[in-house]
Amino acid sequence: MYTSAPNHPTAGVYTGVYTSAPNRPTAGVYTGVYTSAPNYPTAGVYTGVYTSAPNHPAPGVDTSVYTSAPNHPAPGVDTPHRGTIDTVQTDLLDRARSGDEQAFAELTAGYRRELHVHCYRMLGSFTDAEDLLQETLLAAWQGLPRYEQRASLRSWLYRIATNRCLNALRSGRRRPPEPTPPFDPPEPTSRDALTWLQPYPDALLDEITDPAPGPEARYESHAAIELAFITALQHLPPRQTAALVLRDVLGYSTNEVAAMLDTTPTAVKGALQRARNTLAQHKPEMHGGIDRSADAEIARRFADAYAAADIDAAVELLTDDAWLTMPPAPHRYDGIAAIREFWSAALAYRARDRIRIILLPTQANNLPALAAYQAGVDDEFASPAGIFVLTPSRGQIGAVTRFHTPPDLYPHFGLPLRVRAAT
């Protein structure tokens, strides 16, 4: 018995050899008589190449890896069907539709982290992504009676998440208040408007069950979470961001993206072209081939120098064109001289007030990072003081982003909310 699946014909029974064709499931042998169903070819026995026909879905309607189901063609790339409903999920879906919250939690559990990352890419803020993920799941729960399984569950959830993010962006970003520095900083090179940026913990990326993008993707998964890429996305209009992330990062087809955004394939192609041109102008430098050991070593050297207030040693690790940013503070310092001047003022304040800094290694956005804690001279414990994310470049550090993150972000990195201060 052929079981119904999103973007695939209604259930029926087959007899004959089904051979593969472009954008269709892998060849296989199916036993039984196929009975006619709405929007499917007339009943009969089929042997040979199956091609698109009137009243049948066009090839390539969905773009994720197609997962096998009982008596269904073997897994393959049907321009992918990740998230296709199988027998177990069908039972969970039926129970969820009847009001079973636990069934809904199990049904969506495998998609929650990737949806959170999707919202983070759209918004650039971990905190806002948390809120939008909850909104997405609530909307999905309330919309289950209207889910007709024409698209995979995964695609349906991405559609909801994308449109929730677009609604949030239309209503205006939540800009965190600008922090007041405890010292008089030098004049910045420029003022960065992207004050809402936050880091994303690498530890949470491991929760994504299938990180591989679809075949239409232009970016590797690890590159599409790096700070340079996330920052570049924030310069795009919202719908261009959505089109580029869905198409070039997740690998959905142009037709699927159009369906998710309630627009036409032509409009999607136009948005994609403009988005790609803007990204080319910003030229985000990707870290690329990640060498964890080299990253850890450069982070260790920076931590030693910064904690010891050794400006010369810290600056020696920077490339000539390095920059320093500190979201949500808008200040940006470009070049070694400007960064040195800022760090000199900051470290003078530390020395004056006898503040001790402790830096613990971590990972954020597939980059080496350091969690900062600070303590007064008489404090037994040190408290969170922001997260440094370092962007390696040519064997040195090309960018330092010190996020003045709220303390409640630390546990997501697996970090404690306080550490014993060094004596």
Alpha-carbon gap, residue 105 to 40, rounded angstroms? 33
**Residues forming beta bridges with residue 201, ordered by sequence position:** 364
167 occurs within a structural domain: yes
Among 261, 282, 303, the domain boundary falls at 282
**Residue 300 and residue 388 share a domain:** yes
Residue 76 is encoded by which pair of tokens? 């393959």
Query: Is the separation of the CB atoms in 240 and 105 below 8 Å?
Result: no
State the DSSP code for 291. Answer: -
| 242 & 391 share domain | no
Domain enclosing residue 394, as ranges: 292-420
Using the 3D structure, point to which of 242, 261, 282 is the last residue of a domain: 282
Query: Which run of H or of E encompasses 202?
Result: helix 202-205
d(CA 166, CA 132): 10
Residues 36, 66, single domain; the answer is: yes
Residues ≥6 apart with Cβ < 8 Å to 262: none
159 shares a domain with 111: yes
Q: What are residue 323's DSSP bridge partners?
A: 334, 399
- 417 residue type, one letter: L
In a domain, 158, yes or no: yes
Tokens read off for 18: 């089904």
For residue 403, is it within any domain?
yes
Domain-embedded: residue 201: no
Is 207 among the domain residues?
no
Q: Are both 240 and 276 inside the same structural domain?
A: yes
- d(CA 58, CA 208) in angstroms, rounded, equals 30
Q: Are residues 375 and 336 in the same domain?
A: yes
Please identify, among 282, 314, 329, the residue that sits at the C-terminal boundary of a domain.
282
Ramachandran region, residue 17 (left: φ > 0; alpha: ψ -120 to 50; beta: rest) = beta
Residue written as token pair 């940013």: 325
Looking at the fold, whether 345 and 320 belong to one and the same domain comes out as: yes
Residue 196, in any domain of the structure: no
CATH code of the domain covering residue 363: 3.10.450.50
**Non-local CB neighbours of 50 within 8 Å, separated by 6+ positions:** 18, 19, 21, 24
Is 87 part of any domain? no
- Assess whether 367 and 254 both reside in one domain: no
Provide the domain count of the chain: 3
Are 302 and 371 contained in the same domain?
A: yes
Same domain, 329 and 401: yes
Looking at the fold, whether 34 and 154 belong to one and the same domain comes out as no
- Measured CA to CA, the distance from residue 318 to residue 300 in angstroms comes to 14
Specify if 210 maps to a domain: no
Distance of CA 224 to the CA centre of its chain: 7
What is the gyration radius of the CA atoms in the chain, in angstroms?
Answer: 25
Q: What is the pLDDT along the chain (423 residues), one digit of tens a residue?
A: 333 334 433 333 333 333 333 333 333 333 333 333 333 333 333 333 333 333 333 333 333 333 333 333 333 333 334 455 566 788 999 999 999 999 999 999 999 999 999 999 999 999 999 999 999 999 999 999 999 898 899 999 999 999 999 999 998 877 888 888 899 999 999 998 789 999 999 999 988 877 667 767 778 777 899 999 999 999 999 999 999 999 999 999 999 999 999 999 999 999 999 999 999 887 666 665 567 889 999 999 999 999 999 999 999 999 999 999 999 999 999 999 999 999 999 999 999 999 999 999 999 999 999 999 999 999 999 999 999 999 999 899 999 999 999 999 999 999 999 999 975
Answer yes or no: do 230 and 132 share one domain.
yes
